[in-house]
A and B are shown apart, each in its own frame.
Chain A
Amino acid sequence: MNIFIKLKNLDRRWVFLFVALSVIIPLLFPFALPVVPTKAVANLHKFIENAEALPEGTRCFLSFDFDPASEPELKPSAVAILVHMFRRNLKPICGANWPVGGEMAEVALVEAANAYMSTYEDMKAQGKLAPGCKPIIERGVDYVNLGYKTGAIIHVKALCNDFMYPYPQDRDGNSTAEMAIFRNPDGRRFAMSDVGLIISFTAGTGGIETFISMAGEHKRPMAAGCTSVNIPRFTTYLQSGQLIGMTGGLPGAAEYETLIERPGKGCAGMTPQSIAHLVIMLFIIFGNLAYIAEQRNEAKKKG
């Protein structure tokens, strides 16, 4: 019993040490834990997988509304979704409502494109690619990064009418008017109504909520990737059906990676994540045991 009472007054630096170790050790010596997809992630995967909802060649708009502070949480799910889109021969168009979102999108696009191209032969052999998939995908034809534009809701409203006006050039300064990805068969200007799905990777404000508030204008299905802190807030939109699916935090990414059978940063992060959670929960249990032990001691003294 005395051990527990000592535990109660444990210096918090011991807690810190255990948390640090619980993250460092699994990072240095990785091992895998099972990942079970939740409904919100599975729904999103199913929607992208569904060839009727999103026929091959459909263009999807991905908004990168986060900054480096949230990159560890949001980039893995962005990469996983991009890889899935490439394998389904969908064409991601990336934009950003946050100033450094363009850079975030660039990093994710490069990583996803490389992942797709390096596994092309294997996936083709397993028959897991859409029929129209090409071994090498090109910027401006199969994907594009438009970068950041100010204006948030006004900007999204502008996109609903026409993409070329707010984005005369992509992030690297190439003219969008000539890009194959924006060409419509009937020669119409490319607008949000031509997009099959809108996904926003949102770290705080100004992300998917801007698109939701403009839902009356664009009437497109929407999904979100969000940080863990925002999961409670965004669950409301899932309930109300405004979002078809959502990947929440690093576990959301890990679940999506499991669904597309490509373990990446998300799955790698899940092990330290689980261990650290376990350590914190053990500390809570010990804290309570110590508390109970102390209560008993006091009761004995009184008795």
Chain B
Amino acid sequence: MTTLLITTWVGALITLCCFTFLIKDNPFYRFAEHLFVGVSAGYYLSTISFHQVLKPNLLAKIWPTYFASGTAAEATPEYILIIPGLLGLLMLFRFSSNLSWVSRFTVAFVMGVSTGIAVVTSAEQYLIPQVKKAIVPLIVSGDYFGSFSNLVLVVGTVSCLFYFFFSTEHRGPVFGNVAKVGIWYLMISFGAAFGATVMGRISLLIGRFNFLLSDWLHLIK
């Protein structure tokens, strides 16, 4: 139980130190900040990068007998994974000032794969569904308000798209006004998104005060 007690106390002190950020820069915040950065970087280095990515996805596949356990240890090694391993090692040439260009091959490979994926997936997963969402019947039989709402939706999508035109000035009776309507829609949308988020943020603060007042100080149940 002592571990739990120490953890709670350490947690409460760190929490208070972090809250002092709101007042001004001070030694308490500076201490918590540096500790937090150090601990989280250490956690990502050992636990995430090594134990959760490198070990299961690379080492355990190339040398299953050493790094995998259970039935996975008898799997045939996948030597093809040496390629990404080598590409990863090329990145370390950044340490040398003369040979740092070698790491460009890795950068080029990463850029190629990620842009290739982005071209197709952004079209499939976001572009097409969003266009589809904007296509709604303007007349909903017997529901005047529904028809109006659908009109609002279509007009909004089209006018906001006009706002994003770069090759024409937002001027003129048609173009200027449509783009202006687009800005109105954007503003309403930003306000709504802002307002909706307030709640979640306050919930988080409630969670923090619950920790301080109940787990640490036992003032409330």
Interface residues on B, range: 20 to 34
A272 surroundings in chain B (CB, below 8 A) = 202, 206
Q: In the complex, what's the smallest C-beta–C-beta distance from B28 to chain A, in angstroms?
A: 16
List residues 33-88 of chain A with CB under 8 A from any CB of chain B. 69, 71-73
Interface residues on A, range: 20 to 34
List residues 1-56 of chain B with CB under 8 A from any CB of chain A. 22-23
Chain B interface secondary structure, helix, strand, loop or mixed? Answer: helix
B198 surroundings in chain A (CB, below 8 A) = 277, 280
CA distance A24 to B213 in the complex (A): 9
Report if B207 contacts A (CB, 8 A). yes
List residues 1-32 of chain A with CB under 8 A from any CB of chain B. 13, 16, 19-20, 23-24, 27-28
A13 surroundings in chain B (CB, below 8 A) = 22-23
Q: In the complex, what's the smallest C-beta–C-beta distance from A19 to chain B, in angstroms?
A: 8
A20 surroundings in chain B (CB, below 8 A) = 205
A72 and B206 within 8 A (CB): yes
For A73, give the chain B residue with the smallest CB separation: B203
Q: Determine which of B22, B23, B197, B207 lies in contact with A228 in the assembled complex, contact meaning CB atoms within 8 Å.
A: B197
CA distance A162 to B199 in the complex (A): 39
CA distance A43 to B210 in the complex (A): 31
CA distance A154 to B213 in the complex (A): 42
Report if A101 contacts B (CB, 8 A). no
Q: In the complex, what's the smallest C-beta–C-beta distance from A12 to chain B, in angstroms?
A: 9
Q: How many A-B residue pairs have CB under 8 A?
A: 64
Report if B120 contacts A (CB, 8 A). no
B133 and A236 within 8 A (CB): yes
Q: Determine which of B192, B200, B219 lies in contact with A227 in the assembled complex, contact meaning CB atoms within 8 Å.
A: B200
A23 surroundings in chain B (CB, below 8 A) = 202, 205-206, 209
Chain A interface secondary structure, helix, strand, loop or mixed? Answer: helix
Report if B128 contacts A (CB, 8 A). no
CA distance A19 to B202 in the complex (A): 9
Q: Determine which of B196, B200, B206 lies in contact with A27 in the assembled complex, contact meaning CB atoms within 8 Å.
A: B206
CA distance A28 to B22 in the complex (A): 22
A229 and B202 within 8 A (CB): no
B199 and A228 within 8 A (CB): yes
**Max chain A C-beta neighbours (<10 A), residue from B23, B199, B204, B209:** B199
Report if A273 contacts B (CB, 8 A). yes
Known contacts A16-B22, A28-B219: A249-B204 contact under CB 8 Å: no
Report if B193 contacts A (CB, 8 A). yes
A251 surroundings in chain B (CB, below 8 A) = 199
Q: In the complex, what's the smallest C-beta–C-beta distance from A108 to chain B, in angstroms?
A: 15
A24 surroundings in chain B (CB, below 8 A) = 209, 213
Report if B220 contacts A (CB, 8 A). yes
Interface residues of B (CB under 8 A from A): 22-23, 133, 192-193, 196-200, 202-207, 209-210, 213, 219-220
14 A-B pairs (CB sep. < 8 Å):
A13-B23, A16-B22, A19-B205, A23-B202, A28-B220, A69-B204, A72-B204, A73-B203, A228-B196, A236-B133, A269-B203, A272-B202, A272-B206, A276-B202
